[in-house]
Chain A
Amino acid sequence: GAGVSQSPRYKVAKRGQDVALRCDPISGHVSLFWYQQALGQGPEFLTYFQNEAQLDKSGLPSDRFFAERPEGSVSTLKIQRTQQEDSAVYLCASTTRRGGTGELFFGEGSRLTVL
């Protein structure tokens, strides 16, 4: 597609459920980022991939969060045993350049609500 695509757009989970959020970046984009945006806050960095390599996962809040990009294109963010504090919009962004020095293209986000 022409832009970064994320799915699902909305996800409601019961506390304790596992969820998987998908990001389909723009074809050929080397770098992929995941961010978490709580209501009324700016986005917070979660993790960064350069092709299939996860070069920085320092922002993942706990070991319940796991991200992968096995073939260097589509990425999945998995949250195990969801908690209410995980409720947020999860944003994916991609860029042609390594790191955050290129123009960023964001997806619409996946809004997760944990009940």
Chain B
Amino acid sequence: KNEVEQSPQNLTAQEGEFITINCSYSVGISALHWLQQHPGGGIVSLFMLSSGKKKHGRLIATINIQEKHSSLHITASHPRDSAVYICAVTREYGNKLVFGAGTILRVKS
């Protein structure tokens, strides 16, 4: 079983819809990252969380440490949000990030 599991693997939404991507992890962590990767492009850091909730524009990320679960929400989705969204965790002891497989999001106009 992977240490970081994301769902869904693929998501197609209509423009304007509210989107949720989920991430569950099985190890102790010191931080959780949500990342965005456009086709052929580099990876951009969206959020780094160790507790609670963060908001940036139309993006909201939450984390529940006890349940080892995080969600990324996109409000009023737009075609330009189409990308791969990746959850990654920094293990509590150690330096390396462990990545989820990513969620491929397509927002149709």
Contact = CB atoms under 8 A, between A and B. Distances in A.
Given A45-B96, A56-B95, A99-B95, A104 B33 contact: yes
B74 to A, nearest CB: 19
B31 interface: yes
Contact of B99 (A42, A48, A56): A42
B48 to A, nearest CB: 5
Interface string A31-73: 1010100000111110010100001101100000000000000
Interface string A1-42: 000000000000000000000000000000101010000011
Contact of B45 (A42, A98, A104): A104
**Interface size range of chain A in the complex:** 20 to 34
B43 interface: yes
A106 B90 contact: no
Given A42-B86, A43-B99, A106 B94 contact: no
A91 interface: yes
Contacts of B98: 45
A98 B95 CA distance: 8
Interface string B42-58: 11110010000000000
Contacts of B96: 33, 45, 48, 56, 58-59, 100
B38 to A, nearest CB: 11
Given A45-B96, A56-B96, A106 B44 contact: yes
B31 to A, nearest CB: 5
A78 B86 CA distance: 27
Interface of B: 30-31, 33, 35, 41-45, 48, 86, 88, 90, 94-102
Interface of A: 31, 33, 35, 41-45, 48, 50, 55-56, 58-59, 91, 93, 98-109
Pick the 5 closest A-B CB pairs, nearest first.
A100-B90, A42-B99, A106-B43, A108-B42, A45-B96
